[in-house]
Amino acid sequence: MATHEDDDRFVTGRRVTGDDGASVRAVRARVARHLVGRARELDLLLAAVAAGRDVLLEGPPGTSKSTLLRAITAEWGIPLVFVEGNADLTPTRLVGHHDPARVLREDYSPDNFVPGPLVDAMRTGGFLYLEEFNRAPEDTLNTLLTAMAERRLAVPRVGVIEALPSFRVIASMNPYDNVGTTRLSTSVHDRLCRLAVDYQDAEAERGIVGRRTGLESPRLVADAVALTRSTREREDVRQGSSVRGAIDTALVAAQLAAMRGVPLPDEPSVAPPRWLSEEYTAVVLDAVLLALSGRIFLDETLETTPEAVLREIWEDHFLLQPAAADPG
Ligand SMILES: Nc1ncnc2c1ncn2[C@@H]1O[C@H](COP(=O)(O)OP(=O)(O)O)[C@@H](O)[C@H]1O
Ligand SMILES: [Mg+2]
């Protein structure tokens, strides 16, 4: 039985991707255009889904998980169904429910069933992307496991829902997240391939911020990225900001600079700044406070504030760096 089921899924995977590696390679090349870097993660994720597997993406927020999945499903022409894992995600929410008003008038029928994300993804052959799935209740995860193992689901008063061949479950979790999460049973882990995604390097992050903001000041992009990355390196910060914080810092700073009539530096991005106006660094500080103070999570035992931490990071970046880099 188990072998038969696995064979099915193997055939399934091949059907989605074509008969040889060529179409997977073509998809990979097209998907890569949506992304800055991430070649290895893309290869591994594509290989897993093309092989008919379900996948756990493990990494902090803002590390391209949704971007990868959006790009793959868009290129494959299949739906991507998002669902957020939290305590309210009951099995009924995941599977679907009968419209109560219509049930009163018509009694239960498959016709008045409102599909939830799981049934939706199974019927359309989409990827069900369950974010923070370790926050979902255990009985919800069990329902999901059944659908994953059998590729079909019996729904009372509806019938058996058969998944289209391209249906996949992609789960994500943040390894730093341990509040309100379920300790996942080994039977869950045993059914998923796992791909760890971590933060990208500074060069890639500058590429992402440049692309997402369209800003023409490489200096501002580099400063926003460097300041954001510093929030991940501090002892007193439990979780720093992702590249999303850098994108917002850069966009807010550009607006503030325009409003205040402060010219953005046109220096190259990577070399240490030679000279930056106080007006410019003040704009960056305001942008950092606005964009990052709600995105960093401090060690609770310390008596400091996000604002104080960010001000220190800003001082280190603008005041110490040029001195250190300029021996004379
Ligand atoms: N490798 C990448 N290439 C292009 N854009 C990226 C990349 N990684 C992240 N981004 C951008 O950063 C933001 C957060 O990425 P996202 O994929 O939503 O993260 P996650 O789903 O892991 O939380 C989005 O605006 C996305 O466009
Ligand atoms: Mg996401």
Q: What is the pLDDT of residues 103-130, one digit of tens each?
A: 999 999 998 999 999 999 999 999 999 9
The rounded Å distance from CA 172 to ligand 2 centre is: 9
Higher pLDDT, 276 or 224: 224
What is the tens place of the pLDDT at every residue in 23-47?
A: 888 889 999 999 999 999 999 999 9
Q: Using the CB atoms, write b or e for 256-281: b if 16+ within 10 Å.
A: bbeeeebebbebebeeebeeeeeebb
> 10 Å Cβ neighbour count for 170?
29
Nearest ligand by distance to the CA of 34? 1
Q: Is the CB of 37 under 6 A from ligand 1?
A: yes
In terms of C-beta density within 10 A (0-12 exposed, 13-18 middle, 19 or more buried), how is residue 67 classed? middle
Phi-psi region of 159 (alpha: psi -120 to 50; beta: other; left: phi over 0): left
Q: Which residue is it, tokens 């255990």?
A: 138
φ/ψ (deg, to 5) at 163: -80, 140
The rounded Å distance from CA 68 to ligand 2 centre is: 9
Nearest-CA residue for ligand 1 atom 7 is 64
Strand partners for 55: 170, 193
pLDDT for 323 beyond 70: no
CB of 149 closer than 8 Å to CB of 174: no
* H or E element that contains 57: strand 55-58
The rounded Å distance from CA 69 to ligand 2 centre is: 9
pLDDT band at 326 (very low <50, low <70, confident <90, very high): very low
CA torsion sign, 78 to 25 to 66 to 270?
negative
Q: Give the rounded percent of residues in the chain with a pLDDT score beyond 70.
A: 87
Ligand 1 atom with the smallest distance to the CA of 61 is 23
Q: What does the pLDDT read at residue 182?
A: 64
What is the tens place of the pLDDT at every residue in 172-209?
A: 999 877 666 666 778 888 889 999 999 999 999 999 99
pLDDT for 97 beyond 60: yes
Nearest ligand by distance to the CA of 204? 1
Least Cα distance to 156 among 99, 95, 102 occurs for: 95
The rounded Å distance from CA 213 to ligand 2 centre is: 18
The rounded Å distance from CA 36 to ligand 1 centre is: 9
pLDDT for 264 beyond 60: yes
pLDDT for 284 beyond 80: yes
Cα 294 from Cα 249, distance rounded (Å): 12
- Average pLDDT over every residue of 72-92: 95
Q: Is the CB of 208 under 6 A from ligand 1?
A: yes
Q: Is the CB of 212 under 6 A from ligand 1?
A: yes
Residue from 42, 56, 64 to probe ligand 1 pocket by mutation (most atoms less than 8 Å from CB): 64
For the packed helices 65-76 and 21-32, what is the interaxial angle rounded to 10 degrees? 130
Nearest ligand by distance to the CA of 225? 1
Nearest-CA residue for ligand 1 atom 4 is 35
Q: Is the CB of 244 under 6 A from ligand 1?
A: yes
What the chain holds in terms of domains, given with CATH numbers, is 2-196 (3.40.50.300), 202-325 (1.10.8)
Strand partners for 115: 96
Residue from 67, 127, 249 to probe ligand 1 pocket by mutation (most atoms less than 8 Å from CB): 67
In sequence order, what are the residues at sequence separation of 6 or more whose Cβ sits closer than 8 angstroms to the Cβ of residue 30? Answer: 75
Cα 276 from Cα 316, distance rounded (Å): 14
Cα 180 from Cα 136, distance rounded (Å): 9
What is the tens place of the pLDDT at every residue in 301-318?
A: 888 999 999 999 999 998
Q: Give the rounded percent of residues in the chain with a pLDDT score beyond 90.
A: 76
What is the tens place of the pLDDT at every residue in 135-152?
A: 999 999 999 999 999 999
SS3 209: helix
Dihedral angle computed from the Cα positions of residues 160, 162, 167 and 170, in that order, rounded to the nearest 10 degrees: 20
